[in-house]
Structure formats: C-alpha cells, structure tokens
A and B are shown apart, each in its own frame.
Chain A
Amino acid sequence: MGTKNTVKKESGNYTAWFVKNVCAAVVAGIFIFKCLDTQEGYKWVYHSMLKGNMELIKAHPKATLEERNKFKLGTDYEYLLFVKNATPEDAVILYPSREDFLPEGVNSPFKQDIQNKLWALRFLYPRKLVLPSEMETNRYADDITHVAIVNGRGYERLGYEADERMEFGILPLNR
C-alpha cells in the first residue's frame, strides 16, 4: 500500500514538473517569437536576413564558388573573372580608372568597389595592376602587357588601332 502511494506521489510529482515546464516553455516560446515578429530589428534579421538567405541557399545548394561570387558581386565580379581567364598569371594590366568604370552621364553596370585596386587584386592576383594615374610612379608601368577596356574606354592606351571596338574586354598592349 505504502509503495503504491509512493509511486503515485512520484508520478504525480513528475506530472506536475512536466506540466509546469511545458507551460513555462510555451510562454518562453511565445515571448521569443513575439519579439521576432514585432521588434523591427529582430524582425528584419530573422525573417529577411536569415530566412531570406536560407531560401537562396536552398534554391542553389550546389552553386560553385564562382556562382556564389556572382550572386554577391554581380557584374564587377563577372568582369574581373573574364579578365582573369583572358590573361596569363604574369600579366601586368593597365587597369581602368574610376572615370572609365563610372563615366558621368552613362548608366554603367559597375559599382564603386571595382575601381579600388586592392579590391580588384583579390580576384586578379597574381596579375599586377597599374592605374592610368600611376604611369610615372608605378614600378610595373614599363612592363604593362594588357589593357583593360570598360564602357568602350581605354582604346587610346593601346599601342595600335584596334580592328573592332567592344564595350568590355582586355587586349594586349601591343599587337
């Protein structure tokens, strides 16, 4: 009889513990998700940033590193990838200036960042880059092998007249 009562009491204890814990956990859960749904900052970070990116990841689970770079960096990366694939590793490239990338009054596909030499080097290394403004100072200015063309600009830096003109490209300095 005594053992039965103890077992009953213990199971009653566990039931009370379980009910209290479940109730508290439900309250905690409601609190958390209320915060995530109502506070502007948490709402953005949870619903837009985290969930939005997860949707993109799930839609392209096997994307290569190059494709993932394209997702984030768009045309800037595509152009640098093109330059990288079209030049040998020891190339010295006459790299476009800011005005070439973002000419006034022209709707350029590029963003601000690509004009930064170090930024571009992350994708073009070990190629060397020389800016048009550095022709007098850059130690590689005399070793230029290629000229980068953007927005149809840069042809005047070639050592010859190009047969046909393109908007974007990379050409050898001399024929």
Chain B
Amino acid sequence: MVHFGIFLTIATGFVFVHCLSVKFTLAEKIGLSFLMGMALEAFLMLFIDQAGIPLTPASLLAGETLMLAGLCAFVYFYRKDALESLRTSMPLSSLKSLNMVWLMFIIVIVYVEYMNMSKCLYFPPSDRDSLAGFETIGYIAAKEHTLKGLSIFDSTYIEGIHGPASYITYAPLVQLSYAYVYALGAGTSKVINALMYLFFLVAFYGATSRAAGKTGAAVATLFMMLTPEMLSFSSLSMTNVIHAVFASLSVIYMALWFRERDKKDLLVCGALLGANILCRTEGIVFTGAVVALLLVDSFRRKEYRPLLTVALFAFVPLICWTLYKKMNGLYSESIAITHPFWDAEKAGNILDHMWMLYKNTIYYGLSFIVFLVAFLLNLWFLIRKGDSLYLLLAVALSSAFYMIVLYQIDYKWDSIENVLLYSGKRFMFCFIPMLWYFSLSNHAVRSVFMKLEQLLLINKA
C-alpha cells in the first residue's frame, strides 16, 4: 500500500504543478512533483485531523484521491494545453544540445545519489534528534491515527511537554510525512528522506538549467549534492535537509521570477515558501526576505499582484498551522525575547560562529569559496546590470534575519553554543543550493559555460 500512496503523492504533486502552469520543463515538473505532493498531503492531513477523522490508510488515501481528482478537474478545465506541454517538454527534442561534459557530470550525480539513496533506505532512523522528536511523533501518529490527540502530547504522561522549545509545537510537515508512510505500512520512514532528496536534485537541476544552461546546471547539481555535511544529513531523518529543499528552491524560483518575470515562477515560489514554513518555524526568515524584496519591487513598479500572490501562498499554511495549534492546545513556553535589547557579547558570539561556518570547508566543501569567486567575477555585471541582484539580496537578507532570530532567542533549554554549533550548522544547508545556483547562473560564469556548450555542440563541430 505504501507504493500506491507514494504514487498518489507524486501524481498529486505533478498535477498540482500543472495547475500552477504547464510551462515548466519536464525536469522541474518531475522534481517538484513529490515535493509539492508531500507538502499538500501533510497540509491535507492537518484538516482531516482537525475534522476529527482518524488518520487511517483509508482516510489518507481517500483524501488524497479526492484532492488529485479536484486538481485533475482544474487542469482539464483551465489547463487545456497540459498534454501538449508534456509532449513538447520531452527531453528527446533537446538531446542534440547535450555534450559529454554534461554526461560525465550526470553519470557521477547518478552514481553518488545511488550510493546515498542506498544508505538512506538501508539504515533505519537512528539519529537522536529524530528518534526523540519527528520520527517518533510520526510513528505514534500513524498508530494513534491523530496528531492533535497524541498520547505523547499529554502533560500528565510526558513531563515538560509544554516546556521551552518542546516538540509539541514543531512545524508538522516532516512528522506528518512520516506518519503517512507509517500508516500505509512502511517499515521505516526513510523512504520520505530518500525521495525528498532525489526529487530535489531533479528539481534543482531543472530550475538551474533554465538560468545556467544544462552543463552549468549539471556542475551546480553535482557540487551542491556533494556538500559533505548536507549529503550526510540527507540520509538521516532530521528536518534540516527537507527544510533546505523547500527554502532554497523557493528563493531560486524567486530569482527566476525576477529574471524572467513569468507568473509561474512566482506561484511555485509562494507554494514552496508555504511548505518551508510547515517544515521548520525559522523558515520564516526566507518568507520575510522574499516578501521584503517583492515589496520593494512592488513599490517600484506600482504592481502589487506578485506580492499578494506570494503572501497568500506563503502565509496561508502558517495561519492554518497556528490556528490548528491554538484550537488543540499545542503550545510550549516561549523562547523568544520580544523586546529590543543590546548584548554585545551575544551578538559577537553569533557573528563569530557564523563566520566560522562560512569558512568551514569540511562541512560545506567548496560552496562558499566558489560563491565568493563567482561573486567577484560577476561584480562588474552586478554593478552595471544588477545581474543576480535579487538573489544575492535574498541570501543576505535571510542570513541577517536568521542572525536576528538567533539573537532574540532566550536560551533557557540549551546553550547558545550548542544551538550555533548544531542548529546553525544545519541551517546553512538552506543556503548551499542558492550559492551553487548563483555560482553557475551569474552572467560571467554562464557566458563561459554557454561558450563551452557551443564548442561542444554536435552541429557546430
């Protein structure tokens, strides 16, 4: 049954992407299918649970089938060119533009992902943070057919459940994804992590190839996926890589929108931002950055529809989740300091740790170094033409927002050092795909890769 459930999820996501637009490339459609499908399923599970319907295999599959039918009806009535778009986006027509450098990178990507996926699926969840959190919540939710009424959310059974930073208020997407596959009979929840990363790679490649060309996208995809700490965490059950998937792609689609001004990218950006916030609460920093940039752009162009579109997609899931928590008494002691204050030592500590992370090539490989080189190479085009300006601003703004969030936290459940060392390190995963996207899609580097592709074209030889 779990295979059928996964198939339904992919189909739902695939059709949903067509509801947004039929103009995406095939790689984007396939890559986004599982990501969007799983986000939609988790969102739906919140409503099923709130309605008091048990989260059983029957209700989950029936709910998803109904959702799929609704999306299909939308495509049938409003996206009449969907089938035609599938035919024209088949890669066979573009095989001539491929070259052996591209092929070499794709082979290595497939080989590395084969090893990574094998590892992911072979080993059951074993990391402490998931077993003492998301994984166990998902497992028990599948057994008890609910999230809101979980026995482990009962303060007379689990002491400190409403304490600071308690798992009771963790954003629900990952737990509900695990609950979904457990409810359908999976032995472990790792199929979610494996498929998330696999489909992410395809989506990242698809999105990047639109801005960097196929060869540049293959290079970016390989080095992005090889990022040591991120690759090792991609096969664990923690939320960080899944969060990075949604957060990074949302910013990349924002960059694509600023590049091409095509509404479809804005819609995907908004949907991914919504999923990002259902993954981890601190995902709000990316929503904040994207919304701030769209706000500036809206003022400049006196056109507010893009801003409203993204805000609608991005904030509706957050509002629903907040209401769900309120209605079901899912609360924990606040860790936020809500008044402004100045603590030079704390601020210095945060900046030092962040700087240490940027320089760490064991965790992030060449990501930051290549980004810096690409930034310098593209400086002229950035200053003269504003090339990749909004992407760079989104990276800078979200980094700054994250540091503000870290600063405004009252570390009463853990030390600031631990949070910076572990959470901070993993939060950086969100930026890695953005950095590689920029490094290969900026004007200077893209020009070099375009020349290379021209040189290696079959009809130009």
Distance (whole angstroms) from the CB of A97 to the closest CB of chain B: 13
In the complex, chain A residues whose CB is within 8 Å of the CB of B456? 17, 20-21, 24
Q: How large is the interface on B (under 10, 10 to 19, 20 to 34, 35 or more residues)?
A: 35 or more
- Inter-chain contact A122/B136, CB cutoff 8 Å: yes
Q: Which residue of A lies closest to B366 (CB)?
A: A39
In the complex, chain A residues whose CB is within 8 Å of the CB of B281? none
Flag whether B228 is at the interface (Cβ < 8 A).
yes
In the complex, chain B residues whose CB is within 8 Å of the CB of A13? 461
In the complex, chain A residues whose CB is within 8 Å of the CB of B116? 50
In the complex, chain B residues whose CB is within 8 Å of the CB of A68? 122-124
In the complex, chain B residues whose CB is within 8 Å of the CB of A122? 125, 131, 135-136, 139
Cα distance A29–B105 when bound, in Å?
8
Distance (whole angstroms) from the CB of A127 to the closest CB of chain B: 11
- Inter-chain contact A49/B231, CB cutoff 8 Å: yes
Cα distance A54–B118 when bound, in Å?
8
Q: Which residue of B lies closest to A130 (CB)?
A: B157
- Inter-chain contact A121/B136, CB cutoff 8 Å: yes
Count of CB-CB pairs between chains A and B under 8 Å: 142
- Inter-chain contact B115/A51, CB cutoff 8 Å: yes
Q: Which residue of B lies closest to A74 (CB)?
A: B126
Flag whether A175 is at the interface (Cβ < 8 A).
no
Chain A contact residues, majority secondary structure:
helix
Q: Which residue of A lies closest to B455 (CB)?
A: A20
Flag whether B232 is at the interface (Cβ < 8 A).
yes
In the complex, chain A residues whose CB is within 8 Å of the CB of B140? 121, 125
- Inter-chain contact B126/A72, CB cutoff 8 Å: yes
- Inter-chain contact A69/B228, CB cutoff 8 Å: no
Cα distance A24–B118 when bound, in Å?
30
- Inter-chain contact B136/A137, CB cutoff 8 Å: no
Question: Which among B156, B229, B365 is the interface contact of A137 at CB below 8 angstroms?
Answer: B156
In the complex, chain A residues whose CB is within 8 Å of the CB of B154? 139
- Inter-chain contact A65/B187, CB cutoff 8 Å: yes
B118-136 CB mask vs A (1 if < 8 Å, else 0) is 1100111110100111011
Cα distance A39–B105 when bound, in Å?
18
Flag whether B158 is at the interface (Cβ < 8 A).
yes
Flag whether B101 is at the interface (Cβ < 8 A).
yes
- Inter-chain contact A53/B361, CB cutoff 8 Å: no
Distance (whole angstroms) from the CB of B460 to the closest CB of chain A: 8
In the complex, chain A residues whose CB is within 8 Å of the CB of B131? 113, 116, 118-119, 122
In the complex, chain A residues whose CB is within 8 Å of the CB of B133? 118
In the complex, chain B residues whose CB is within 8 Å of the CB of A139? 154, 156-157
Flag whether B108 is at the interface (Cβ < 8 A).
yes
Residues of A within 8 A of B (CB): 13-14, 16-17, 20-22, 24-25, 28-29, 32, 35-36, 39-42, 44-46, 49-51, 53-54, 57, 65, 68-69, 71-73, 112-113, 116-119, 121-122, 125-126, 128, 131, 134, 137-140
Instruction: Given A20-B461, A112-B128, A122-B135, output 11 extra A-B contacts at Cβ < 8 Å.
Output: A29-B104, A32-B108, A32-B222, A41-B229, A41-B362, A44-B362, A46-B226, A49-B231, A122-B131, A128-B157, A134-B159
Residues of B within 8 A of A (CB): 99-101, 103-105, 108, 112, 115-116, 118-119, 122-126, 128, 131-133, 135-136, 139-140, 143, 152, 154, 156-159, 167, 187-188, 222, 226-229, 231-232, 361-366, 452, 455-458, 461
| 7 interchain residue pairs of minimum CB distance | A17-B461, A72-B126, A25-B100, A41-B228, A21-B100, A45-B228, A139-B156
